[in-house]
Structure 1
Amino acid sequence: MYTSFVSVMIPVFNDSERLELCLQALENQTYSKTLYELIVVDNASEEDIKSLVSQFSQAKLTYESQPGSYVARNQGISIAKGEILAFTDSDCIPASDWIEKGVKNLLSTPNCGLVAGRIDFFFKNPEKLTPVELYENIEMPFNQELNVQETHFGVTANLFTFKHVIDNVGSFDEKLKSGGDREWGERVFQAGYKQIYADDTCVKHPARNSFSQLYKRTARFEGGKYDLMMRTKTSSFELVISMLYALIPPFGNAYKAWNNSKLNGTSQKIKFILVIFFIRYVIIIERMRLYLGGNSRRD
């Protein structure tokens, strides 16, 4: 029986419908209700988040006006009571034993800095995937085990850590709107903490199913990359090279897709390749916008 108090951070921006499903799952955990709290951070939503959160006994609401999920998570951390901090997203559905398994893995690993749990996609219609769902399922899965092993981080859709680790290495970089979990994870690794992947600590995450959703995700990722480049004072020459590289048509990726054994039939291959070219189009548009003085997007 574990006795550690856990604070679960959930940033939200205009996502009340999916937040309700998330809170329902978190309200009914195997972990003792006296040992955890849910901190919902309203990141300047236009929807009525307060009324929704008030329906859940484990949840409390706080507010962050500065756009960005990482600054919102930091706001949650600032009022958290727990010695263990857990992170998920408003569109995720944690398993009923998510907190229990996350705590077990964290406490059973000496000098543990973070636990990155499994993230499974779910689809609107598993029997008929859209082109975007097909692409995400094959090309963009949340491979947390690979994240931990190769790049030393876990995405904040499913992450556990100790409050004392945050105190030691610092909280998330509030200037970043994407990639802040990776930047923070690298700090944890550099500080000498152990990082583990936990397959039994699971949340479900909806796959993006439309080109508009994919546009937003790609644009946000490009913004995160750009913000990191600006922090490292990337030269104008490097920015030009980056732009020129983006202008090269992704024929190589298309060829690999055509020969990908995971794609069944000509129809799936064509849909997949269409998404490849769409993503490259978004990258070009976003890099031009950012390099000409635009700001990174929040969603």
Structure 2
Amino acid sequence: MDKFVSVIIPVLNNIEGLCQTLSALDKQTYPSQLYEVIVVDNGSSQDLKSAIAQFDRARLSYEECPGSYIARNQGISIAKGEILAFTDSDCIPEPDWLANGVKCLSSVDNCGLVAGKINFFYQNPQRPTTVELYDRATFLNQKKYIEQYRYGATANMFTWKKVVEEVGYFNGELKSGGDKEWGQRVSRHGYILLYSSDTCIAHPARSSWQEISQKIARTRMGGYEVDRLSSQSKLLFYGRKLLTIIWRLKPPTKSALEKLKECDRSLTVIQKIKLLGAILAIHYQGAWVEIEMYFKNLKYIF
């Protein structure tokens, strides 16, 4: 376990969450002389410098251009480690997070990235909101991301710096979906992608409709841009998007049942009904975002 690791955290304000993350990183079982923590300020109005000063292992960098992926690229550009570990300013790594992530990344030859497990937690564990239940059932399923979509979310991801140097940095133009685009690029280069169930971080579930609405809009717009940039034909892209939009207009029966199965078995009937209503409402909100983007950008085909 002699690999030096650079932990990269983009942040926009959120001092309280960042301090929790940095505190957890100070308690890692990985040798303290073998890792650094790079916090990239992406335009915060809060005084991050004073907050970070209390953590000896953390250093602050800056990226003025808005976007978490271009901020991560700034962190990569100054990283000293041969291993890069990514997390977010609202995540709390387990004490053995670094040790297990490095071990998994080093366990097989030609490993391109490791996606670690993300455990959600609620503001009130005894009374999770409907939105919190939806967030947990819908997002950041790293095992599914690796096996079905060939990427890992940057809330909990490890890679080699040499992999980044070969396949390229994150696409800084993307505001969402950059981890998916980058992970799939790694996969196309022939690298192995692994899921690690014991490389864990805790992540707060979104608790309000505003938060989940912003998340849905951001992910749909990000997915739209990833597909657009990867398509070689504008006509083919818009044709496929139209079919996707039509398909999304049908009730999400199958995915709704899958989400209900993935939820806690202790949910009451009322909670399940509320969750089902949230699934339907958010599904059609996402479809509306795609419809708006489609017709807004349709002019670029001509």
Q: TM-score, normalised by structure 2?
A: 0.88
The one-letter code sitting in structure 1 at the alignment partner of 2:290 is R
2:216 to 215, 218, 235: 218
More displaced 10-residue stretch of structure 1: 79-88 or 266-275:
266-275
Counterpart mapping for 1:33-48 below 5 A: 33-48=32-47
Residue number in structure 2 paired with 1:93: 92
Return the alpha-carbon distance in structure 2 between the equivalents of residues 155 and 257 of structure 1: 21
Return the alpha-carbon distance in structure 1 between the equivalents of residues 213 and 260 of structure 2: 25
1:270 aligned onto 2:273: yes
Q: Which runs of 5+ in 2 are unaligned?
A: 298-302
- Offset, 1:284: 3.5
More displaced 10-residue stretch of structure 1: 76-85 or 180-189:
180-189
Residue number in structure 1 paired with 2:60: 61
More displaced 10-residue stretch of structure 1: 228-237 or 108-117:
228-237
Q: 1:258 to 1:46 in 2, by over 3 A?
A: closer
Residue number in structure 2 paired with 1:240: 242
Give CA-to-partner distance per residue, 1:200-224, whole Å, 9 cap, x none. 2111111111111110111111111
The one-letter code sitting in structure 2 at the alignment partner of 1:191 is H
The one-letter code sitting in structure 2 at the alignment partner of 1:267 is I
1:291 aligned onto 2:276: no
Return the alpha-carbon distance in structure 2 between the equivalents of residues 251 and 105 of structure 1: 36
Residue number in structure 2 paired with 1:279: 282
**Secondary structure, in 3 states, of the residue corresponding to 1:104?**
helix
Residue number in structure 1 paired with 2:300: none
The one-letter code sitting in structure 2 at the alignment partner of 1:194 is I
Counterpart mapping for 1:23-172 below 5 A: 23-137=22-136, 139-172=137-170
Aligned length: 291
- Offset, 1:246: 3.7
Return the alpha-carbon distance in structure 2 between the equivalents of residues 70 and 255 of structure 1: 31
Give CA-to-partner distance per residue, 1:39-75, whole Å, 9 cap, x none. 1111112222222122211111111122211111111
Residue number in structure 2 paired with 1:3: 2
Residue number in structure 1 paired with 2:173: 175
**Secondary structure, in 3 states, of the residue corresponding to 2:290?**
helix
**Secondary structure, in 3 states, of the residue corresponding to 1:279?**
helix
Moved over 6 A (4+): none
Q: Over aligned residues, Cα RMSD in angstroms?
A: 2.3
Return the alpha-carbon distance in structure 2 between the equivalents of residues 258 and 117 of structure 1: 21
Counterpart mapping for 1:179-198 below 5 A: 179-198=177-196
- Offset, 1:263: 7.2
- Offset, 1:253: 5.2
**Secondary structure, in 3 states, of the residue corresponding to 1:66?**
coil
Q: Residue 257 of structure 1 contacts residue 272 of structure 1 at CA under 8 Å; is this kept in 2?
A: no
Q: 1:14 to 1:286 in 2, by over 3 A?
A: farther
**Secondary structure, in 3 states, of the residue corresponding to 2:182?**
helix
Give CA-to-partner distance per residue, 1:105-147, whole Å, 9 cap, x none. 222322221111111111111211101112233x315322232
